[in-house]
Amino acid sequence: MIGSTKKNYSSEKRTLNEENRSLQDKSLKFHPQKQSLIQKIVNARSVGEKFQIYTGEKLHWFQVILLLKRSVIPGILHWVILCGGYGFLISVLDHFEYLPNLTGIKSLPNILISLNVVLSLLLVFRTNTAHERFWEGRKLWGAMVNVVRNQARGIWIYIEEREMPERKSKAAAARLVAAFAVAMKLHLRRDPLHPELAQLMSPLQYRRLQQVNHPPLEIANWIGDYLQRQYEHKRINVFQVADLHAMLNTMVDILGGCERILKTPVPLVYTITLKMLLVIYFIVMPLGIVHELNWWTGLDMAFVSFLLLGLDEIGSEIEEPFGHDPNDLPLDFICKTIVRNVEDLINESPIDLSREARQIPLR
């Protein structure tokens, strides 16, 4: 009895050892796949990969930094040089004793601290307000992508086609849905009509758009008129036309939300007050630090002005998110995605799932 128990124990032990070796072999076999997955995760965190996902343009991380900084630095560079030159002038005047002795003014450090606190709060508020406008614009355009896809899919699936011309008119209507997004982009940027819009409509419609004041709204009227005619010709029922009209109304509502951001800038009095406080701070600051930093005052002034003016310029840039700057929303990339999705919907015929299911053999 004891001998048989030992034999069973030894056989079970050999089985466990074989299973462990097989698991180790499998882990070694799939180790390169794990390494590739980890490498993909690391690459996804890089600045270059995030910029490519965001804009569709592939650049090295250093090129991305230069591209983004290029839109901020030119707007503040002359002010940074002016502040650095002013700090150097104060150092020269202090060195030759042309400045009065300011160390006896005990309130000067308190004034600098108070200005530091006030400017910090104002800049944080300015940056947060600008980011809220930027993010609201991105959410509106994300909703536009979804509703355009649903609208084009609804037109393509709901509307019944009995002749080939009807299929062509349905494809033209689906392209008009994508044209609405492209026209909305041009409208928000205050750009003239672009040839990319002409590819999504007939020449007659494109000439008509060149004569109207609000191209996106005109395209919405064309889509609504097409839906109403299809309902009158009994190509869609009342529930389907109501659904398509509701999505069209949502597209117009999104356009109105973007126009609200565009035509409601940050109050001018707030911008003027912030600029005045920055000027006062840059005037007073060298007077309070020149006795301690001496010839380093100009360099310190240039560095501090670069930080504060850079934050102010970033807020000024992203508070208008629909422009052409590198820090603005990638509207070109978003519109290309919309057009590509609509063209795929038109060119690729749907698959009959019931027929496909009948061809799958039962097991």
- What would the mean pLDDT of 185-194 be, rounded to a whole number? 92
- What 3-state class would DSSP assign to 280? helix
Least confident range from 81-95, 170-184, 279-293, 348-362: namely 348-362
pLDDT value, residue 54: 57
How many other CB atoms sit within 10 Å of the CB of residue 341? 15
Question: pTM for this structure?
Answer: 0.76
Share of the chain above pLDDT 70, in %: 74
Q: What is the pLDDT of residues 203-225, one digit of tens each?
A: 999 999 999 999 999 999 999 99
- What would the mean pLDDT of 331-352 be, rounded to a whole number? 86
Residue found under tokens 């930027």: 134
Banded model confidence at residue 179, pLDDT cuts 50, 70, 90: very high
- What would the mean pLDDT of 222-239 be, rounded to a whole number? 94
Q: What is the pLDDT of residues 153-163, one digit of tens each?
A: 999 999 988 88
Say which residue, 272 or 222, is predicted with more confidence. Answer: 222
Closest CA to 133 of 353, 319, 359, 351: 319
125 token code pair: 């508020």
pLDDT value, residue 357: 42
52 token code pair: 């490519």
* Spatial distance between the Cα atoms of 40 and 53, rounded to a whole number of angstroms: 14
Mean pLDDT of the chain: 81
pLDDT value, residue 284: 87
Q: Sketch the domain layout of the chain as residue ranges.
A: 36-70
Q: What is the pLDDT of residues 47-101, one digit of tens each?
A: 556 656 655 666 666 566 665 555 678 888 899 999 999 999 988 888 887 777 6
139 token code pair: 């959410």
Asked if 142 and 258 touch (Cβ cutoff 8 Å), the reply is no
Q: What is the pLDDT of residues 6-32, one digit of tens each?
A: 445 455 545 545 555 554 554 444 455
pLDDT value, residue 356: 47
pLDDT value, residue 113: 83
- What would the mean pLDDT of 185-211 be, rounded to a whole number? 92
3-state DSSP: the chain helix, strand, coil percent, rounded to 5?
A: 80, 0, 20
Q: Using H for helix, E for strand and C for coil, what is the string for 119-141?
A: HHHHHHHHHHHHHHHHHHHHHHH
Q: What is the pLDDT of residues 119-168, one digit of tens each?
A: 888 888 888 989 999 999 999 999 999 999 999 999 999 998 888 888 89
pLDDT value, residue 3: 47
Residue found under tokens 């995030």: 50
Q: Which residues contact 188 (CB under 8 A, 6 or more apart)?
A: 258, 259, 262, 322, 331
